[in-house]
Amino acid sequence: ASFFLLCFRTSLIRPLICGLLLQPPVAQLSIITRPNIVLLMADDLGIGDVGCYGNDTIRTPNIDRLAKEGVKLTQHIAAAPLCTPSRAAFLTGRYPLRSGMDAVNNYRVIFWNGCSGGLPPNETTFARILQQEGYSTGLIGKWHQGVNCESRNDHCHHPLKHGFDYFYGMPFTLISDCQPTEAPEMDRPFRRKLWFSTQMIGLAILTAALGRLTGLISVSWKTLTCLAGFSLLFFICWFSSYGFVRYWNCIMMRNHEVTEQPMVTDRTTSNILRESISFVERNKHKPFLLFLSFLHSHTPLITTEKFLGRSSHGLYGDNVEEMDWMVGQVLDVIDKEGLKNTTLVYFASDHGGWLERQEGQRQLGGWNGIYRGGKAMGGWEGGIRVPGIFRWPGVLPAGKVINEPTSLMDIYPTVVNLAGGVLPQDRVIDGRDLMPLLRGMVEHSEHEFLFHYCGIHLHAARWHQKDSGAIWKAHYVTPIFHPLGAGACYDRGICPCFGEGVTHHDPPLLFDLSQDPSEAKPLSADTEPLFDTVIKNIGRAIEEHRSTLTPVPEQLSMYNVVWKPWLQLCCGTFPFCWCDKEGDN
């Protein structure tokens, strides 16, 4: 009996000891569940501009290395085709319509540092949740989610009010107005109209004055003086904003302090890279979130001399190759500090490349590969399908390619869950945790339907029919290209969401993206037996989706996007706003 009792005890103790030996230490478990997180986001980069997505002429070895060492997504979708709404969705995990960050008018992004619109303070970003979980959180680069609400210093939309401990970069976005040698970009057609109107008013007053002097027109000098005063007031009203765009919008900040006004573009790239590396080095001993929001590859394509002329795609290619080098520098510091295996790195673009962005014969916008359309087009794939790459050695498989629909909104629940946080329960979160899909624990994405907006207007929707592998996409509204068949709105510079510049489709245009990713051959009831069934299912999903929407204040309303002098960031005494505090360093 003693012998059998001894054998029984031994049989229990051995697996217990083996199990304890095989268990990772608590510290290792906490690292796996609370990794450092580095989010790299390009600006206006087309999916066709990256080597690992098929480009064999622009050199992107560091981004390609991420894909080789990690997981590449081939159907990674932005929630909007322009920066402000797309980034709002990225930060909140919600369609921008839910936070009021999509437009009812043609002003579809934040237009001024001195406007009152922006990401509402009651929205909860992933940065805020990670901050509450003990992460050091930093944003380096572009923000473009607004700054102030009611006064110059309330900073209600500022990154530090949305969960970031540290901010260095542009509260606005890079535009050609920031480069004195470039032609103005911001609201160019409207500015031309303002100049023309001013000239016509001035010419009319001058003609009336000459008529009065020659006796041809009977008008009092008092009336002419009032008209001249009105003309001058009209000119001052619009020129005080549009005449000083470089000073009002091209600003660099560190936390709440304006450090450059206007920004010195020659050193912007080196400063952003230095700040990113410094943030990693300062926070290497505790979990951190770094959101490096590149100013590349948005016009005016600020590129250092070292990279000028290096690519075979002109200034745009040079700019992309420099951004890739910056990615490599960040990866190198992660490796140097011994953080590679404890850091999740993610790379994406905020939306597709800008096809219409040209100056003469120079193409200054990106390329979207085989996908139709581009930036600002809410439905076509070229405007919303972007690169999506994850790397986390030892946790995510290397060299894996996933052909499932995913969204930039998915980053929100993914990083919140990894940090041990809890998703907000008082609102709809449209993103889905990607870790099971990335690790191969599930075969399919959780997204059955995705909805594609242009402003507040639903242009298209897709249905991932998992049992058949089909990815159906219905277009209800499409922009009218000019010239016809050109694939973009070259006459306007950017495609509209509504009005005379779009076509409404009833029945909708239907494509199966699994067979026709370029959206070249629309299906019909005659060519597709499932046409009616698919359209009904997508229509039903749209109605269910709309039932989850609730009215919210419009952050991009006309009132919220106009320039307000009392909200303008200023490092001096307004309107004398000028400083260069980085130059002192």
For the segment 499-525, the average pLDDT, to the nearest whole number, is 97
Q: How many CB atoms lie within 10 A of CB 579?
A: 18
pLDDT cut 90: percent of the chain above it: 84
Token pair for 360: 């003469």
> What pLDDT is attached to residue 180?
87
Token pair for 275: 């700040």
Residue 317 has pLDDT above 70, yes or no: yes
> What pLDDT is attached to residue 122?
97
Distance between CA atoms of 393 and 455, rounded to whole angstroms?
A: 38
pLDDT digit string (tens) for 213-263?
888 888 888 888 998 998 999 999 899 999 999 999 999 999 999 999 999
Residue 291 has pLDDT above 70, yes or no: yes
Burial label for 371, CB within 10 Å (0-12, 13-18, 19+), is buried
> What pLDDT is attached to residue 362?
86
Helix (H) or strand (E) run with residue 281 in it: helix 268-282
User: CB–CB of 357/45 below 8 Å?
Assistant: no
pLDDT grade, residue 503 (50/70/90)? very high
For the segment 486-503, the average pLDDT, to the nearest whole number, is 95
Whether the full predicted model's pTM is greater than 0.85, yes or no, is: yes
pLDDT digit string (tens) for 132-151?
999 999 999 999 999 999 99
> What pLDDT is attached to residue 514?
97
Residue 74 has pLDDT above 50, yes or no: yes
Residue 14 has pLDDT above 90, yes or no: no
pLDDT grade, residue 30 (50/70/90)? very low
Distance between CA atoms of 565 and 570, rounded to whole angstroms?
A: 10
Coil, strand or helix at 456: coil
Residue spans per domain, the chain: 36-174+250-356+382-447+553-580, 188-242
Distance between CA atoms of 36 and 291, rounded to whole angstroms?
A: 11
Q: Is 83 a known active-site residue?
A: yes
Residue 26 has pLDDT above 60, yes or no: no
Which residues are CB-neighbours of 114 under 8 A, at least 6 positions away? 148, 241, 248, 563, 564, 565, 567, 568, 569
Q: How many CB atoms lie within 10 A of CB 551?
A: 6
Residue 1 has pLDDT above 90, yes or no: no
> What pLDDT is attached to residue 584?
59
Task: Phi first, then psi: give them for residue 337, nearest 5 degrees.
Answer: -85, 5
- Give the residue among 178, 140, 183 at the shortest CA–CA distance from 41: 140
pLDDT grade, residue 361 (50/70/90)? confident
Distance between CA atoms of 387 and 67, rounded to whole angstroms?
A: 10
> What pLDDT is attached to residue 11?
45
| Higher-confidence position of 428 and 202 | 428
Q: Tell me the average pLDDT of the chain.
A: 93
pLDDT digit string (tens) for 176-212?
999 988 888 888 788 888 989 999 999 999 998 898 8
Task: Phi first, then psi: give them for residue 37, nearest 5 degrees.
Answer: -130, 125
Q: How far is CA 548 from CA 413, 432, 455, 538, in A?
A: 19, 17, 18, 16
> What are the residues facing 386 on neighbouring strands?
76
> What pLDDT is attached to residue 583?
78
| Higher-confidence position of 3 and 391 | 391
Q: Nearest 5 degrees, angle CA 407-CA 409-CA 410? A: 70
Q: How many CB atoms lie within 10 A of CB 385?
A: 30
Q: How far is CA 49 from CA 67, 78, 95, 437, 457, in A?
A: 14, 16, 26, 25, 28
Residue 15 has pLDDT above 60, yes or no: no
> What are the residues facing 405 on neighbouring strands?
75
Q: Is 144 a known active-site residue?
A: yes
Residue 43 has pLDDT above 60, yes or no: yes
Residue 32 has pLDDT above 50, yes or no: yes
Which residues are CB-neighbours of 1 under 8 A, at least 6 positions away? none
> What pLDDT is attached to residue 571?
95
For the segment 51-76, the average pLDDT, to the nearest whole number, is 97
Q: What is the 3-state secondary structure (H, E, C) of 132-182?
A: HCCCEEEEEEECCCCCCCCCCCCCCCCHHHHCCCEEEEECCCCCHHHCCCC
Give the CA radius of gyration of the chain: 27
Burial label for 19, CB within 10 Å (0-12, 13-18, 19+), is exposed
Helix (H) or strand (E) run with residue 8 in it: helix 2-22
Q: What is the CATH number of domain 36-174+250-356+382-447+553-580?
A: 3.40.720.10
- Catalytic residue, from 7, 76, 115, 144: name it: 144
> What pLDDT is attached to residue 359?
85
Coil, strand or helix at 429: coil
Q: Nearest 5 degrees, angle CA 34-CA 37-CA 38? A: 170
Q: Is the torsion defined by CA of 315, 321, 325, 331 positive or negative?
A: positive
pLDDT grade, residue 459 (50/70/90)? very high
- Catalytic residue, from 83, 178, 489, 577: name it: 83
Token pair for 476: 């209800």
Which residues are CB-neighbours of 270 under 8 A, at least 6 positions away? 304
Q: Is the torsion defined by CA of 188, 554, 171, 452 positive or negative?
A: negative
